[in-house]
Every structure is written in C-alpha cells, then in structure tokens.
Amino acid sequence: MRPGPFSEGELVVLVDPYHQRYLLRLQAGQKYSCQHGAIAHDAVIGQAEGTILRSTKDVPLVAFRPTLSDYVLKMKRGAQILYPKDLGSIFMRADVFPGARVFEAGAGSGALTLVLLRAVGPTGRVVSYEMRPEFAERARLNVVGLLGDCPNWTLRVRDVYQGIEEEPFDRALLDLPAAWEVLPQAEAALRPGGILVAFFPTIRQIEETATALERLPALRLVEIFETIERPWQARGLSVRPHQRIIGHTGFIIVARKLAAPGASPEPVEPLLPGFEGTEA
Ligand code: SAH
C-alpha cells in the first residue's frame, strides 16, 4: 500500500454517490462497467487517490486504494467471511501483535487471515488450516490478491481435529462450526499466557464451548461477548440511525492459557474489562 498516483496492476475501489463500492485491478486499455456505465482504467492510472472521475453515464465515482474492510467485503467468497466489526474485535481481544505466532482454523475465504498477516507483520507467522481444498484455494487467491506472496504464511489443507502441529503459538483463533471439539489441541498448542479466541454464529455453540472450557483448567479468564455496530447518518437536521443494519453476525469467546492448570481464578461474576477503574 503506497502513496502517490495509481499505477497499472494496483487495486482500486470506485465509490459511487450511494457509497457503493466497486473493486477492480488496473490494466491499461481495459474498461470497467457497472450500473453507472463504464470507466476506462486509463482514466484512473496516473491519478491521485481521491480523484473524482465521471462514468459514461456521467455519474461521479471517487477512486481510492481499498482499505482492508473494502477488500474483505468485495473479495470473492467461498465460505462466509467474518465481518469487519468482528475482525476488529477479534484483533483487539486476541491482542495480535507484530512478531506474533498465530494459529487459525478454518481459513474460509481468508478475511481473518488478512487481518492476522497485517497485524503480525513480516517478523510474525500465521499458520492456517482449512479442511476444504476449494476454500483453501479461495483463501490463497484472496490473500495473494491483496498482499502478494507471504513467506510467513503457511496454509494447509488439513482437518484441525487431526491435531495442531507447528506449535507453540502465541494466539489461536477458531472460526469453525464445532470448535469446542478442538479445544484440548488448541490448549496444548498455546504457550503459557497465550490467548484463544473463537467465533460462533449461534449461542448453542458458545454454550458447548463454555462447557468444554470448564473441563480444561489451563484455559481461564473466559469472556463472552458480541459486537453490535449501529451506523448513523448525519444530513443537515436528519441525524439518526440508519434504518437497516447488520442485525446479527455472531458471538466471540475468549480464554487465556495458564502456565499450569491449577485452582480456577474464575470469580463467580467477573468484572467486565474497563470497569475496574484506572491505576493512578
Ligand atoms: N474466518 C474465515 C471464515 C471461516 S468459515 C474468514 O474470515 O474468511 C469456516 C471454515 O472452517 C470453512 O471454510 C470450513 O471449510 C472450515 N472448517 C470446518 N471444519 C474444519 C476442520 N475440522 N478443519 C479445518 N477447517 C474446517
């Protein structure tokens, strides 16, 4: 991701007056067509980011380099992706830091993989397992499409229930239907102080996971939450929530690995993080 004018081969998002986004890769001599008519790629190449162009139907379209959110929402999907609001929460709760060794299953379409690769940086390492070869290939194309070759990323077509190799990991992230079945392996793959984060669309799955965690005394400080993002509009005096929002995506469960399984430090009702007050 660089500053300066657009050049051939780069990704561009064109944003229309309704904030609809269109993702394309610039190729000299090509035309991009959408509901607003066509735009010549040559009209974008050489322009600064943020330039307003006009389609053949005279609709203004602004050209930007795609943000990670733009890319994730527009890239081709095999499996359902994690949405940016959940990706942001997972990044923060899993505390994915530059240089971290991160395990992930399943790779799906690669949305979380992209966030992880960006967060760990060139000194970190991401290992992704994906059971279905066609989804693994989709994830690979999506990752390479944005980041190019990633020598610090290992993608394996593998069933995570067969076990996790390449350990130890600082972080383990699970986005698969029955992730509670792989918790003992995830626990073993994490180093002491490591963080486990799992995402589930239904509360039944959270229940299964919470119950499975009770049987794993080295995974503690369990937290369960969901993120609700409510977009608002501000147009003159009309300042109000949008009428349509993403009503539900899923729930997130977090746990931390102890050095040795011991007496549970779990209080009956934990204080929520952020409610403890601040240190002077
Ligand atoms: N987090 C991904 C989406 C994951 S969807 C993203 O943001 O794009 C869940 C994925 O888990 C699917 O691709 C599915 O094939 C995979 N999966 C399900 N069971 C699995 C298993 N046992 N081992 C590895 N992958 C599995």
Mutate to test the pocket of ligand 1, among 77, 85, 135, 158 (most ligand atoms within 8 A of CB): 135
pLDDT at 55 over 80: yes
Crossing angle of the two packed helices 133-147 and 111-120, in degrees rounded to 10: 40
Question: Ligand 1 in contact with 79 (CB < 6 A)?
Answer: yes
- How would residue 280 be classed by pLDDT, with cut points 50, 70 and 90? low
Length of the chain: 280
Ligand 1 in reach of 83 Cβ (< 6 A): no
Contact 90 CB / ligand 1 (< 6 Å): no
Give residue 271's pLDDT: 62
Instruction: Please state the φ and ψ torsions of residue 242, each to the nearest 5 degrees.
Output: -60, 150
Q: Ligand 1 centre and the CA of 52: distance in Å?
A: 39
Task: Report, as an integer, the average pLDDT of 135-159.
Answer: 98
pLDDT in tens, 170-213: 999 999 999 999 999 999 999 999 999 999 999 999 999 999 99
Q: Which residue has the tokens 């050095």?
A: 259
Whole-angstrom CA distances from 23 to 65, 246, 252 are: 9, 22, 30
List pLDDT tens digits, range 8-37.
999 999 999 999 999 999 999 999 999 999
Which residue in 146, 166, 170, 172 sits closest to 154, CA to CA? 166
**Model pLDDT for residues 237-270, shown as the tens digit of each residue:** 999 999 988 899 999 999 999 998 866 656 556 6
Q: Which amino acid is at 199?
A: F
Residue 157 has pLDDT above 70, yes or no: yes
Averaged pLDDT of the chain: 94
pLDDT given at position 266: 61
The model's pTM: 0.94
Contact by Cβ (8 Å): 127, 156: yes
- CB-based burial of residue 273 (10 Å sphere; 0-12 exposed, 13-18 middle, 19+ buried)? exposed
Q: Is 130 in the pocket of ligand 1 (CB under 6 A)?
A: yes
With 60 as the cut, is the pLDDT of residue 148 above it? yes
Distance CA 89, CA 96 (A): 11
Residue 1 has a pLDDT of: 63
Q: Is the CB of 87 under 6 A from ligand 1?
A: no
Percentage of the chain beyond pLDDT 70 is 93
How many Å lie between the centroid of ligand 1 and the Cα of residue 197? 14
